Amino acid sequence: ERTSARLLIIGPPGAGKGTQASRIAERYGVPAISTGDIFRANITGGTELGTRVQQIIEAGELVPDSLTNEIVQDRLAQDDAAHGFLLDGYPRTVDQVHALDGMLDGASLDAVVLLEADTDEVVARLLKRAELEGRADDTEAVIRHRQEVYSEQTAPLIELFSKRGILVSVDGLGTVEEVAERISAGLDARLAATAGR
Ligand code: AP5
């Protein structure tokens, strides 16, 4: 397997990014790095970072770019990310894209998986998760707000990655296995296309 892939997964809240990220990471032998998971671990652990971001996350707002960029920069500097990574939930704003470009120091991303799912489906998934796991930002009002924030601030990134020729759009509906197979097929094709460059 190729072990130098620099990958992102992007899509609306509830599209299945986290679910698929661990599978993709294992398949391509790279660490999955989720900014949401990093923030939640800090909230649970009661760290200073956790205290700073808790209210923002519970309101479904975005953590300020400067703080988020700093956390990702530190994480990408760790040894396990030296030969590739899969970012989940980052970048989420145009400013974060530019910050990431700077962190990669001229190296380009290999592929961006866009996981597509309509609003009714993702809201239903997150309401179900609210019942099962009680994630603090999975109340109906906050779920709706997270969708709006995605539409306004993150959806514009899709065109940007499309223009770079690295976007792999995948239908996120169906079983987890079905979606995983679509992602693998799309990524394999995309990575084969870039391998010769
Ligand atoms: P983050 O953790 O990134 O949350 P999100 O984008 O809202 O995404 P979710 O984790 O809710 O959904 P997902 O797409 O990962 O789907 P999942 O696999 O979990 O961010 C949380 C917050 O942190 C943000 O609101 C912000 O405050 C902050 N933050 C994070 N990154 C930031 C950044 N870069 N800048 C600024 N702030 C940032 O699946 C959802 C549910 O559906 C699960 O229950 C799952 O089991 C189920 N499911 C998955 N696939 C399927 C399927 N195929 N069929 C049926 N159910 C499925």
The single residue listed with the structure tokens 């380009």 is: 108
Q: Tell me: the pLDDT tens digits for 145-183? A: 999 999 999 999 999 999 999 999 999 999 999 999 999
Q: Is 35 in the pocket of ligand 1 (CB under 6 A)?
A: yes
Q: Tell me: the pLDDT tens digits for 52-71? A: 999 999 999 999 999 999 99
Q: Are 85 and 76 in contact, with CB atoms under 8 Å apart? A: yes
The single residue listed with the structure tokens 């239903």 is: 124
Question: Binding site for ATP: which residues?
Answer: 14-19, 129, 174
Residue 27 bears catalytic tag: no
pTM: 0.96
Residues 6+ apart with CB under 8 A from 108: 6, 164, 166
Q: Tell me: the pLDDT tens digits for 22-56? A: 999 999 999 999 999 999 999 999 999 999 999 99
Q: To the nearest 10°, the Cα dihedral for 187, 12, 43, 6? A: 20
> In order of start, what are the domains of the chain with their CATH numbers?
6-190 (3.40.50.300)
Q: Is 39 in the pocket of ligand 1 (CB under 6 A)?
A: yes
Question: Binding site for AMP: which residues?
Answer: 35, 40, 61-63, 89-92, 96, 135, 146
Residues 6+ apart with CB under 8 A from 13: 122, 126, 143, 146, 147, 150
Of 6, 23, 75, 92, the catalytic one is 92
- The rounded Å distance from CA 26 to ligand 1 centre is 19
Q: Quickly state the pLDDT bin for 139 (edges 50, 70, 90).
A: very high
Q: Is 92 in the pocket of ligand 1 (CB under 6 A)?
A: yes
Q: Are 62 and 137 in contact, with CB atoms under 8 Å apart? A: no
- The rounded Å distance from CA 114 to ligand 1 centre is 13
Residue 125 bears catalytic tag: no
Q: Is 34 exposed, middle or buried (0-12, 13-18, 19+ CB in 10 A)?
A: buried
What is the reported pLDDT for 105?
85
Residues 6+ apart with CB under 8 A from 79: none
Q: Quick one: which atom of ligand 1 is closest to the CA of 132?
A: 44
The single residue listed with the structure tokens 């509906």 is: 173
What is the reported pLDDT for 196?
60
Query: CA 53 → CA 43, 50, 173, distances in Å?
Result: 8, 5, 31
Q: Quickly state the pLDDT bin for 3 (edges 50, 70, 90).
A: low
Structure ipTM? 0.98
CA-wise closest residue to 85 among 57, 62, 115, 107 = 107
Residue 146 bears catalytic tag: yes
